[in-house]
Amino acid sequence: MSKIEDVLKTDKKGLHYGNRLILPFPIDILKVNIKNDIITDFSTSDVGAEYIVRDDYTEIYFHDYKSLMETVAKYAVIKMVVVEKGTDIFDQGNHKILSIDILDKHIVDIKEIHDDQIFIE
Amino acid sequence: MIKKLLYSLIFFTINTPLFASEGSTELLNYWYMVLPFVALLLMIATGPLFYHHFWEKHYPKIAIAMGVITVTFYIVVLHDTVSLMHTLAEYLSFIALLASLFVASGGILIKVDKKATPMLNVLILIFGSIIANVIGTTGASMLLIRPFIKINKDRIKPYHIVFFIFSVSNIGGALTPIGDPPLFLGFLRGVEFFWVIQHVWYIWAPTLIVLMSIFYVLDSMNKSGNDAEKDYSGKIEFKGLKNIGFLAIIIISVFIDPNVQSWVPSLAPLPFGIRELIMFSIVYLSYKYADKEALRANEFDFEPIREVAYLFAGLFATMIPALQLIAIEAHEYGEELNAGLFYWSTGSLSAFLDNAPTYLNFLSAEMGKFGMDVTNKTAVHEFQMLHPLYLSAISVGAVFFGAMSYIGNAPNFMVKSISERAGINMPSFFGYMIKYSIPILIPIFVIVWYVFYYGQG
């Protein structure tokens, strides 16, 4: 099972196809920001977003958008607050804020949010 | 008072069949040509709220389609291409200024490593309100909203953003034509550049002081983040400083107008001048040579300015008949209207409609009251000299009331959008009004009316 820390260290990339985002680690997602939408409700499978945690990866479907490539502007990113699967979700120290950059050829660049960017949990 | 206000609002918005035109009485038979304008304004107000994703996808087509209806009418039925060319020139000036300020300021990143305090926040908001008059409410909002959020990261609440919208994105920019789009349209029509600051500063200053006092009290009660132990260097860092140079060129180019400087060549019959060419070049250059790190940190996106460009293309085209009809009819019904009513009428509509076309409509109406034509620059100049109270009433109304809702002024939506991208849950359209703008701004605006316009003019 890949850990977020290892993926960030090795600069392993994620994937995107249409409105589907695939991150190479299993996580629980607490909050997502895409364009102007802040999504915290993952309970339905037709609006907003839903995610499915697999053993080695997590897939997220953004129902309100057809294509992530067309939705996220060149200098914009998707931001999310996540918790590594298997860690204590109630310990805020385990919460990580990731920035997801949608690139060409279905590639996704994953980074921990850097100092200049802002995302309030 | 309320009866008069209602009369005024009904007069300007619903009772359009009454409108007539001296110059082209033919337009009287086609009063319904204001409907595309009304329809577009209604869709701008309701689209982002009730059919968000449909609107997001189709607003360019809708805005252009509405504009094409009016343009076709003027060409085919009225055979009037002069009004169309005049409007096109005005639109190009307007969008050139907004786009250049938006792109140039989007490439500047300000990092402030200081502990947030109510006093520091008040100072930032006052600073933003002042520079809004130099780089526009759009430029100042773009430049300062991120550092403002960042400084308050551990204690940010929606009211921080709301007061930012009140001051930096709206009221602050009431002193110069660069400050807010309505005033720039007035400048393009012939109002002198320094007229606004001379006639509005004594309303602007006390309004801001009251607003900042309320903010200070509210912010002093916010104890969140006080326990976070952090070391602050107190440093202020800038990235993308070369874009400050581009901003300076934009400000200078505002005055490069054949009507302001005699040495400036006119490019007529082209619908733009040297000023617009400079501004559009700045859009290209300030983006191409921008600090990429600054763009990335600011999450720069052309979408907000693209939206303004399309919507205003539609608005500028569809409002031609409304402007012409209102100007003439106000001449007939003008006796009923005083400066106070113009203040409330301009303000009430600016709260929900784009304040730039609203200002133009009421400038047209005021001038019509005194038998003057808003399309004549000399007449506008004469009007500012003879009836300053009236011009001040619509200038203050259009700019101040733009803060009443998210759709009152272009930067409101941009600030809301940036705040949401920063993870802040902003109040809904009605939440913003019920919780913030009505209880806080309306009493202030009533005082402004009572002190400066009641019983005068």
CA distance A33 to A26: 19
B5-27 confidence digits (pLDDT tens): 434 443 443 333 333 334 456 77
Amino acid at B290: A
A81: which chain B residues are within 8 Å (Cβ-Cβ)?
423
Contacts of B443 (CB under 8 A, 6+ apart): none
> Nearest to residue B148, comparing CAs of B437, B435, B418, B436?
B418
Structure tokens at B336: 């009923």
The answer to whether B107 and B286 have CB atoms below 8 angstroms apart is yes
Determine which of B421, B424, B426 to mutate to test the interface with A (most A C-beta atoms within 10 Å): B421
What per-residue confidence (pLDDT) applies to B65?
97
Cβ of A120 within 8 Å of Cβ of B423? The answer is yes
Residue of A nearest to B107 (CA): A75
Strand-pairing partners, residue B61, are none
Q: CA torsion, points A66, A68, A69, A73, in degrees to nearest 10?
A: 120
Indicate the domain borders of chain B: 2-452
List all residues 6 or more positions away from B171 whose beta carbon is below 8 Å from its beta carbon: B129, B204, B207, B208, B211, B399, B400, B403
**Distance in angstroms (rounded) separating the CA atoms of residues B197 and B53:** 41
- Give the pLDDT score at B142: 85
Nearest CA in chain A to B419: A36
Interchain proximity A121–B423, CB inside 8 Å: yes
Query: Can you give the pLDDT at residue B373?
Result: 82
CB–CB contact A73 B303 (8 Å) = yes
With an 8 Å Cβ cutoff, are A116 and B109 in contact? yes
Q: Determine the residue of chain A that is closest to B158 in CA distance.
A: A120
The tokens for B68 are: 């094409």
Contacts of B416 in chain A (CB under 8 A): 36
CB-based contact A73 B297, cutoff 8 Å: no
Output the six-digit token pair for B442: 């309306």
CB B423 to CB A119 under 8 A? yes
Q: Which positions in chain A touch B111 (Cβ < 8 Å)?
A: 116
Q: Does the CB of A89 have a partner CB in chain B at under 8 Å?
A: no
Q: What is the pLDDT along chain B (457 residues), one digit of tens a residue?
A: 444 443 444 344 333 333 333 445 677 788 899 999 889 988 887 887 788 878 888 999 999 999 999 999 999 999 999 989 988 998 998 899 889 988 998 899 988 888 889 999 999 999 999 999 998 998 899 889 989 998 998 899 999 999 999 999 999 999 999 999 899 889 988 899 999 999 999 999 999 999 999 999 999 998 876 665 677 777 888 889 899 999 999 989 988 888 777 888 888 888 899 999 999 999 999 999 999 988 988 888 888 888 889 988 998 899 888 877 776 666 666 667 889 999 998 998 888 766 777 788 889 888 888 888 887 889 999 999 999 999 999 999 999 999 998 878 878 877 888 898 888 989 888 889 999 999 999 999 999 999 999 988 6
How buried is B382 (Cβ within 10 angstroms: 0-12 exposed, 13-18 middle, 19+ buried)? middle
**Please, which residues 236-295 of chain B have a Cβ atom closer than 8 Å to chain A?**
292-293, 295
For residue B17, the model assigns a pLDDT of 31
pLDDT along chain A (121 residues), means of 10: 88 95 96 89 85 94 92 90 93 92 95 81 75
The predicted pLDDT at position B25 comes to 62
Q: Which candidate from B296, B301, B421 shows the least CB-CB separation from A33?
A: B421
Q: Does A11 touch chain B (CB under 8 A)?
A: no
d(C-alpha B295, C-alpha B303), whole Å: 14
* pLDDT at residue number B251: 87
What does the angle CA B414 – CA B419 – CA B424 come to, to the nearest 5 degrees?
Answer: 150
d(CA B335, CA A57): 73
Amino acid occupying residue B212: M
The label of the residue with tokens 């701004």 reads B441
pLDDT digits (tens, 9 = 90+) for B334-344: 667 889 999 99
ipTM: 0.77
**In B298-409, alpha helices (H):** 303-333, 339-352, 355-369, 377-386, 388-400
A77 in contact with B, Cβ within 8 Å: yes
Q: Which of A37, A117, A120 sits opposite B297 (nearest CB)?
A: A117
